[in-house]
Amino acid sequence: MRPVFFCLLVFVLSACSGPMNDPYPKSEDGKAILYSAFDEPPKHLDPARSYASNEVVYLAQIYEPPLQYHYFKRPYELIPLTASALPRPVYVDADGRPLGADAPAERIAESVYEIHIRPGIYFQPHAAFAGKRELTAADYVYEVKRLAHPGLHSPIFGLMSDYIVGLRELGTELERAAKTSRGWLDMRRYPLAGAQVVDRYTYRIRVKGKYPQFVYWLAMAFFAPMPWEVDAWASRPEAVADNRTLDTWPVGTGPYMMTEHRYNRRIRLARNPNFRGEAYPDAGAAGDAAAGLLADAGKTMPFIDEAVYTKESESIPYWNKFLQGWYDSSGIGSDNFDQAVRVGAGGESELTPAMRAKGIALKTSVATTSFYTGFNMLDPVVGGLDERHRKLRQALAIAVDIEEYIAIFANGRGIPAQGPLPPGLFGYRDGAAGINPVVYDWVAGKPRRKPIAEARRLLAEAGYPDGRDAATGKPLVLNLDTMARGPDDKARLDWLRKQFRKLDIELVVRGTDYNRFQDKMREGTEQIFEWGWNADYPDPENFLFLLYGPNRKVGAGGENATNYVNPEFDRLFVQMKDMDNGPARQAVIDRMVAMLRQDSPWLFGFHPKDYVLHHAWLKNVKPNQMANNGLKYRRIDVAARATARKAWNRPHWAGPVLAVLVLAVALVPAWLAYRKRQEARAR
Amino acid sequence: MTAYLLRRLLYAVPILIGVNLLTFALFFLVNTPDDMARLHLGVKRVTPEAVQKWKAERGYDKPLLFNAGAAGLAKVSDTIFFRHSLAMFAFRFGASDDGRDIAGEIKTRMWPSLAIALPTFVIGLAVDISVALILLFFRRTYVEWTGVVALVAMMSVSSLFYIIGGQYLFAKVWQLAPISGYQDGFNAARFVWLPILIGVVGGIGAGARWYRTLFLEEAGKDYVRTARAKGLSEARVLFRHILKNGMVPILTGAVAVFPLLFMGSLIMESFFGIPGLGSYTIDAINAQDFAIVRAMVFLGAVLYIAGLILTDVSYTLVDPRVRLR
């Protein structure tokens, strides 16, 4: 009985000392801890392997690559993190002679980046270190070599092998070494011509040809420092058996370090006591100062002591806990959208009175993402670059009303795409100059979708008057291959069928699971499909390469899912990717985008708008699609949070007491009847 | 009895092989090793070489069931099925596809599962029996009629409704419990009482109705009539005679499900954020982690067989007329 009694005692005591629905231990009361949640555990936390958005949430607070994005400025701007300055590439020709910054790309044999890191930066405390361990250039070089480690399967090894001098050869050498030796591969023993230490605080990376986008990679965890001692320590069998590998326990120089990782349950980050401190930015974009985002300018970051991420499989508990104040911020699911946001007469989103009464704030930003419907260019019906097939795709692009789609299925959270580039990237054009003239007209200062009659005209010219093949008289039937098969998708797919029916075209939805869908895409047996791309870095190359011929999916296994091959587009892409941002590059991008609008291999969908809600006590929140190391900027007004939580979470006993009373009262007549029956005499 | 038990244990071997084979076939019918590799490696910039390496490291590059290229016994042993499934019989579950020790995870996660499942089972049994007896106690009154209607209604409602409704009422509106979450040790009590309550209430419909049927059958027997004829009170008849005799099928039924309590509840754990074996299984299915799925299915099958054997044994304990040979 004692344990049961003890449990009850703990329960009653805890109920009396604060809100009964407090999901956190009492020891955390009054502390500057940020509470957040995840629905899917991170698969990889090794910086050489991790490439998912739900992993970078943790990695970006722990690891420090040499560069980072300015947190407030737009368009996105790279600034040094551990580097003392932004590296400027030195171009050399095939004989190693230096070239000028404006040298033509075809003459450039290599771009040499020399990166100088600031002294006095220390790693977090770790069992692998004898004492305080200073960050050196060798740690960065070590990590570049790890990209070639055969056991790590770094997702960017293939890409970087094309650029970093000697990386592919290092991969082959490491593969041989891994076969002969078991356990830890000490990367210091394997030289890499493309990544070398110059001195204690300087290292050099040699990149083949001209690759201006390389600096963006230097702001990602793939290029974060890795001390060899930690790699050796985490490769021990004991560490592997204890799940303490680098893939589960990151070790870095950043403002936070991991102090708890209970797989698929809870992740806790705490201040790194060895962190040097970083000053809060004193400049931002227009309006940031007025919004109070620069109030902490000059103060030393980070402000928050800990961040706790808890597994929440279901959206309902997450949302309700946010409303009760147990989570500091939340996204908005479609189920809760109407409860949180209402759309004004002018189409602007604003919080509902209930949300405003709680002091909740709404932050929106257009994601650097493009959703589109792709046509398989290898398909005999919808593919091909000839006039007939192009007009068919153009007709469909007009018929599918994306504005309606956004209003119905995305709660208005998105802007119709006029091309492959989302806003915020160089090359994106706004206003009349930025519309897709195949689909829109510019009327009264805004784009207006062309009438369906125009689509019918194009369809007739494509050889399908009234949706029938002019040659055979048979109705045109198109197929959408999709993974969306659930009940929630039915309305959306019905809507899509309706859009095609505007042109008397029948759309057949071929539902398939993820694996079969991937097979179809690899084999090029799909006809129409839905796809999307989220930017790795804010450069137009990162979207236009999705339509570059040599990147096609069928045959080359690339990311060009539509298998679009246009020699002129490919030529311009090669030219554009090596150019510096400026009017000349903009002109090339304009030509490429115009080409895509005419060819229409994508039915341009939309760029989603991210909506984030946060409580008033969480400060310095500004959505940033590129920088993931935002935790160090956040500040929490702990007292305000405690007051709000207490006020919002008072237990209500009247309900349960009433329920018990009703049940008891309902039984009284039965009890009386029973007594009467028991006391009755036989007659 | 020893011979009987040995025989039952031997029977279990082909059953477990069959379960393993069936799990294997069902899993690989919808997932190829290539698909598993792609899911683990991500969708961005994954090369065919990386997929091949991933498979080779985990032994998924072998043929599924029969290796025609191998010689002798290796034709069977050098296959995915043999390499991944046979070690289970020694309870060596190995590592999940992302490299974590499955046995360690099971040991850690069975406690949160038990923290909910065991009290739900014990309290649920007591409540169901009590409700069934109360209905019998108030026989032919409005309590019985409304009670039976209520039980039918309760058993017709989806368990998901109880979970969401319970969370809404107790955690959101009345704010008497955390909506979700879990802490170790005695602090777990704050998090598990609501799932236990929901589990118990959600089980009353089917449970109490079933026990009522058992008790009704007992109530019609001669010894009950004799007891009443002796002038015993209805309460005494119910609790001293009917309950005692009605416990035989109840106890044997309870013993059968007892071992399965370790497996946890799939939906309950997911909604309440309980880090138990139920949510572990659900997450593994979503992540296409064959190593965990096959381990959990195998463990479930072993526990089910253990439950059935325990049922047979319990029969001999509660009914002296039964002998196992």
Over the stretch A517-557, which tens digit does the pLDDT of each residue have?
888 998 999 999 999 998 989 999 999 999 999 999 998 88
Contact B32 A243 (CB under 8 A): no
pLDDT, one tens digit per residue, over A558-567 is: 889 999 999 9
Cβ of B190 within 8 Å of Cβ of A11? The answer is yes
Quick check: A176 pLDDT over 60? yes
- Which residue in the set B104, B143, B175 is minimally distant from A670, CB to CB? B143
User: What digits encode the pLDDT tens for the residues A72-85?
Assistant: 998 889 999 999 99
| Count of CB atoms situated within 10 Å of the CB of A169 | 14
pLDDT-based confidence at residue A10 (cuts at 50, 70, 90): low
Residue A9 has pLDDT above 60, yes or no: no
pLDDT, tens only, A395-429:
999 999 999 999 899 888 999 999 999 998 999 99
Task: Summarize the confidence of residues A382-386 as an average pLDDT.
Answer: 95
Contact check, Cβ <8 Å, B45/A156: yes
Burial bucket for residue A353 (CB in 10 Å: 0-12, 13-18, 19+): exposed
pLDDT, position A640: 97
Q: In angstroms, rounded to a whole number, what is the distance separating the alpha carbons of residues A407 and A598?
A: 26
Q: Is the pLDDT of residue A373 over 80?
A: yes
At A250-259, the pLDDT tens digits run 999 999 999 9
Residues in chain A within 8 Å Cβ distance of B186: 6-7, 10
Q: How far apart are the CA of A159 and the nearest CA of chain B, in angstroms?
A: 8
Q: Which of A515, A543, A560 to mutate to test the interface with B (most CBs of B within 10 A)?
A: A515
How high is the pLDDT of residue A7? 53
The answer to whether A167 and A147 are in contact (CB under 8 A) is yes
* Lowest model confidence (mean pLDDT) among A589-593, B18-22, B200-204: B18-22
Cβ A153–B41 below 8 Å, yes or no? yes
Chain A residues whose beta carbon lies within 8 Å of the beta carbon of residue B143: 667, 670
B40 vs B246 pLDDT, higher one: B246
CA-based nearest distance A649→chain B, Å: 6
Least confident segment among A68-82, A172-186, A337-351, B129-143 = A337-351
On whether the CB atoms of residues A249 and A112 are closer than 8 A, the answer is no
Number of separate domains in chain B:
1
Strand, coil or helix: what is A354?
Answer: helix
Q: Which of B142, B183, B275 is opposite residue A264, by nearest beta carbon?
A: B275
Residue A1's pLDDT band, with cuts at 50, 70 and 90, is very low
With CB atoms and an 8 Å threshold, state whether B46 touches A155: yes
Mean pLDDT for the stretch of residues A276-282: 96
Paired strand residues for A362: A613
For B190, the closest chain A residue by CA position comes to A11
- Peptide bond preceding A25 in cis form (omega within 30 of 0): no
Query: In terms of DSSP H, where are the helices of A376-451?
Result: 387-399, 402-409
Provide the residue type at A553 as one letter: K
C-alpha span between A427 and A594 (Å, rounded): 12
Helix spans in A225-283 (H): 228-234, 237-241
Report the chain A residue with the minimal C-alpha distance to residue B32.
A515
Residues of A in contact with B176 (CB under 8 A): 20-21, 651-653, 656
Kindly state the helix (H) or strand (E) to which residue B321 belongs, with its residue range: none
Q: What is the mean pLDDT of chain B?
A: 87
**pLDDT at position B321, please?**
77
Minimal Cα–Cα distance from B15 to chain A, Å?
31
Contact B175 A557 (CB under 8 A): no
Mutation target vs A (from B175, B271, B289; most A CBs, 10 A cutoff): B175
How near does any CA of chain A get to the CA of B12, in Å? 32
The C-alpha atoms of residue B320 and residue B317 are separated, in whole angstroms, by 7
Average pLDDT, chain A: 92
Residue % of chain A over a pLDDT of 90: 79
User: A369-610: what CATH class?
Assistant: alpha beta
User: How far is Cα B291 from Cα B297, in angstroms, rounded to an integer?
Assistant: 10
Instruction: Please report which confidence band the pLDDT of residue A13 belongs to, taking 50, 70 and 90 as the band edges.
Output: low
In this predicted structure, the answer to whether residue A654 has a pLDDT above a threshold of 90 is: yes
Q: Does residue A14 carry a pLDDT above 60?
A: no
β-sheet bridge partners, residue A468: A475
CATH number of the domain that residue B150 is part of: 1.10.3720.10
- Residue B152 corresponds to which tokens in the numbers above? 């039918």
Asked if the Cβ–Cβ distance from B280 to A157 is below 8 Å, we say no
pLDDT value at residue A241: 84
Contacts of B270 in chain A (CB under 8 A): 313-314
Please indicate whether residue B308 or residue A504 has the higher confidence score (pLDDT).
A504
- Does residue A515 register a pLDDT over 50? yes
Whether B272 sits inside 8 A of A673 (CB atoms) is: no
pLDDT digits (tens, 9 = 90+) for A456-499: 999 999 999 999 999 999 999 999 999 877 777 889 999 999 99
Instruction: Choose among A471, A445, A467: nearest CA to A456.
Output: A467
Show me where the domains of chain A are located: 2-20+651-674, 83-116+136-224, 369-610
Candidate from A263, A314, A557 with C-beta closest to B48 = A557
B141–A673 CB contact, under 8 Å: yes
For B129, the domain range is 109-288
Residue pLDDT, tens place only, A298-338:
999 999 999 999 999 888 899 999 999 999 999 998 788 88
Nearest residue to B290 via CA among B73, B37, B78:
B37
ipTM for this model? 0.82
Per-residue pLDDT at A662: 92
In angstroms, the separation between the Cα of residue B322 and the nearest Cα of chain A is: 35
pLDDT tens track for A49-64: 998 889 999 999 999 9
CB–CB contact A153 B53 (8 Å): yes
Report yes or no on B144 lying in a domain. yes
Using CA coordinates, name the residue in chain A closest to B232: A678
Average pLDDT, stretch A629-641? Answer: 97
Please state, as a whole number, how many other Cβ atoms lie within 10 Å of the Cβ of residue B319. 12
Mean pLDDT over residues A203-211, rounded? 96
Measured CA to CA, the distance from residue A99 to residue A115 in angstroms comes to: 19
What is the rounded average pLDDT of the residues B196-208?
A: 94
Give dist(CA A227, CA A233) in Å, integer: 10
Q: Is the pLDDT of residue A2 over 70?
A: no
Q: What is the reported pLDDT for B100? A: 83
Interchain CB contacts (distance < 8 Å): A and B: 158
Q: Which one of B60, B135, B138, B176 would you mutate to disrupt binding with A, by most A Cβ within 10 Å of its Cβ?
A: B176
Contact B167 A159 (CB under 8 A): no
Give the residue-averaged pLDDT of A357-376.
95
Output the pTM of the full model.
0.86
User: Which backbone phi and psi does B230 adopt, to 5 degrees?
Assistant: -70, -10
CATH 3.90.76 corresponds to the domain A83-116+136-224:
yes
Q: For B89-117, how does the pLDDT look when each residue is reduced to its tens digit (9 = 90+)?
A: 878 888 887 778 899 889 999 999 999 99
Q: Point out the least confidently predicted range of A67-76, A635-644, B54-63.
A: B54-63
Residue A7: closest CA among chain B residues belongs to which residue? Answer: B186
Could B273 and A518 be called an inter-chain contact, meaning their C-beta atoms sit closer than 8 Å? Answer: no
Q: Which residues of A touch B30 (CB under 8 A)?
A: 513, 515
Q: What is the average per-residue pLDDT within A599-616? A: 96
Considering only alpha carbons, which residue of chain A is nearest residue B97? A43
* End-to-end Cα distance, chain A: 50
Per-residue pLDDT tens digits for B206-248: 999 999 999 999 988 999 999 988 888 888 888 888 988 888 8
> Do B272 and A8 count as a contact with CB atoms less than 8 A apart?
no
Strands (E) in A450-591, as ranges, are: 477-482, 506-511, 528-534
| pLDDT band at B312; cut points 50, 70, 90 | confident
Residues of B in contact with A317 (CB under 8 A): 167, 179-180, 271-273
